[in-house]
Amino acid sequence: MENRRYDYQPITTRPALRWPNDARVAVWVSPNIEYFHFDQPIPNFAMSKVPDVRGYAQRDYGARVGVFRMMDVLDKHGIRASAQLNSEVCIHHREIVEEGIKRDWEWLGHGVTNNLPLTAYPAADELSVIEQVRDEIAEATGKAPRGWLGPALAETFDTPDHLAAAGFDYLCDWGFDDQPAAMRVKTGRMIAMPYEQGLNDINFFLRSNYTPREYLRQVCDQFDVLYQDGERSGTVLCIPLHPFIIGVPLRIKYLDLALEYIRSHDGVWLTTGGEIADWYYQHSYEDPGRP
Q: Does domain 17-283 have CATH number 3.40.50.1820?
A: no
Q: What is the pTM of this model?
A: 0.97
The residues, ordered by sequence, that sit 6+ positions from 72 with a Cβ below 8 Å of its Cβ are: none
Peptide bond into 51 cis (omega under 30): yes
Q: What are phi and psi of 181, to 5 degrees?
A: -145, 140
Question: What ranges do the domains of the chain cover?
Answer: 17-283
Between strands 82-85 and 181-183, the pairing is unpaired
The per-residue pLDDT for 247 is: 98
Cβ-Cβ contacts under 8 Å for 280 (sequence gap 6 or more) = 17, 180, 191
CB-based contacts of 224, cutoff 8 Å, min separation 6: none
Gap between the Cα atoms of 86 and 157, Å rounded: 21
The string of pLDDT tens digits covering residues 49-103 is 889 999 999 999 999 999 999 999 999 999 999 999 999 999 999 999 999 999 9
**Runs of H (alpha helix) within the chain:** 53-61, 67-76, 89-92, 94-102, 126-141, 159-165, 201-202, 212-229, 243-246, 249-263, 273-283
Q: How would you write the pLDDT of the chain (291 residues) with one tens digit per residue?
A: 889 999 999 999 999 999 999 999 999 999 999 999 999 988 876 566 889 999 999 999 999 999 999 999 999 999 999 999 999 999 999 999 999 999 999 999 999 999 999 999 999 999 999 999 999 999 999 999 999 999 999 999 999 999 999 999 999 999 999 999 999 999 999 999 999 878 999 999 988 899 999 999 999 999 999 999 999 999 999 999 999 999 999 999 999 999 999 999 999 999 999 999 999 999 999 999 999
